[in-house]
Amino acid sequence: MKYPKIGIYAGSGTSHSWLWFVDLFEKAGFCDFVFPNEVLVRNNDIKSLDVLVVSGGDTFAVAKSLGEKGGRNIRSFVEQGGIYIGSCAGAYLPMRSSKPPLDLFNFVDVKITNLSKLFPGAEIEICKSCAAYGYDFVFHPVREAVSLKTTCFFDKDRKIRFNAPLYGGPGMKAHDPSWVLAVYEGFTPKTSFFTSRKIAEKTLMGNGAIVRVPFKKGCFYLLGPHLEHPGFKQANRFIIDAVIRETGMAYDYIDLKTDKACFPAKEKLTGKKAKELILSIRRELSNSRIVAGSLEFLPVRWLIGQKVYEPQKIRVYLEAMWKRLKSLEKNKVLILGPGLYDRITHAAGRITIELRRIKQQIDGNRDSLKTAISIFDLLHILSISFFDLYFATLSNGINQ
């Protein structure tokens, strides 16, 4: 069986939600992953992928880091038959916009319904309910689980209903109604309202929640809610089925490519060196988990770009790596790319130091924003490097 080659974007501006895609695809049995950052996208190292996933985060920060060259390469990737899956911030990214740097990504004729010229009255959590967008505001009427319903353009014979969480994603109006595969149908007992129910219903109900836009040989999937969230199995299934269906059509053009991206050759680590690396990762993750756990009881949050980060998000990264250590330890041979050993050990050690520093800053009522930015940058570096090691090692075991 040929697995699709999936790139899960983990560059600047992304939040922890890309880790949910890692869990989702791994549980589905996929094992051929890369984790490109903005540099690799700008270098067009995405051209050999079947699927490119861009998850949640700060859309403006993602667009700025990718720049014109990154946007051009994403466009070319899809035109040549690639499948783009954008969730939340990743869904906003390719839509039409006149605001820089989003205007570098004017790929699809889809408009959002959660845009207002007036600041909507938020009932709770102002910082999470609204963001400036030029002279307008992108507002988020609800949060947590909402109910979706598929349209006749997904399956003309039956409607499928399922729930998925909304954390700042858009309601959508597509230029072509046939692009809309699912709409927002209702709220659930877990839905939290940031505006009045009337405004929330007007903004979301009957509007696009999942949109598929054909784009020459490929397509864009735009997901308003986080269908990849691990607590929503039916929503997860929607993504997996889409990948299987779309990549079945994509293999023809992938096999015909002659100019594939050149990913660095891997090296093998065995014996004492392999054990030392695993022990180093385990030691630093253990120390970091202890400090990160203590931060979760403190009333603090950080506004980084246009995204709010709480201490709980630190442990999402740490736990995603920690729970995979046992599987990694079972392998006698570790597969690493050039420089990965030093990158992992350095980042893991720095995270522990910076977490202790930020704990002292918070306890002393001192500003901790710069340290928080450093921590989340290091968590990105470590998690990308760890998953490169993890999936390369597991794939080596499967292929032997």
171-215 pLDDT, tens digit each = 999 999 999 999 999 999 999 999 899 999 999 999 999 999 999
Mean pLDDT over each residue of the chain, to the nearest integer: 90
Instruction: Write down the pLDDT at residue 227.
Output: 98
Instruction: Write down the pLDDT at residue 251.
Output: 41
| Residues making up the chain, counted from first to last | 400
Contact of 223 with 84, CB cutoff 8 Å:
no
Answer positive or negative: Cα dihedral of 259, 214, 183, 126. Answer: positive
Residues 6+ apart with CB under 8 A from 154: 160, 181, 182
Instruction: Write down the pLDDT at residue 131.
Output: 64
H helical segments located in the chain: 18-27, 38-42, 59-79, 89-92, 126-129, 197-204, 233-256, 271-295, 312-322, 325-329, 340-363, 369-399
**Could you tell me which of 296, 162, 316 has the C-alpha nearest to residue 237?**
162
262-274 pLDDT, tens digit each = 455 678 999 999 9
Rounded to whole angstroms, the Cα distance separating 207 from 199 reads 13
Rounded to whole angstroms, the Cα distance separating 372 from 358 reads 7
Torsion of CA 217, 222, 226, 230, to 10 degrees: -10
Instruction: Write down the pLDDT at residue 155.
Output: 87
- Show the 3-state SS of 347-371: HHHHHHHHHHHHHHHHHCCCCCHHH
**Could you tell me which of 181, 173, 174, 179 has the C-alpha nearest to residue 202?**
173
Which residues of the chain are under the pLDDT cut of 70? Answer: 1, 118-135, 249-265, 397-400
Question: Which residues make beta-bridge pairs with 75?
Answer: none
Q: In what order do the strands lie in the sheet with 136-139?
A: 115-116, 136-139, 130-133
Rounded to whole angstroms, the Cα distance separating 150 from 157 reads 11
Domains belonging to the chain, first-starting first, are 6-256 (3.40.50.880), 267-399 (1.20.5)
Instruction: Write down the pLDDT at residue 264.
Output: 58
**pTM > 0.85:** yes
Q: How many helices (H) and strands (E) does the chain have?
A: 12, 19
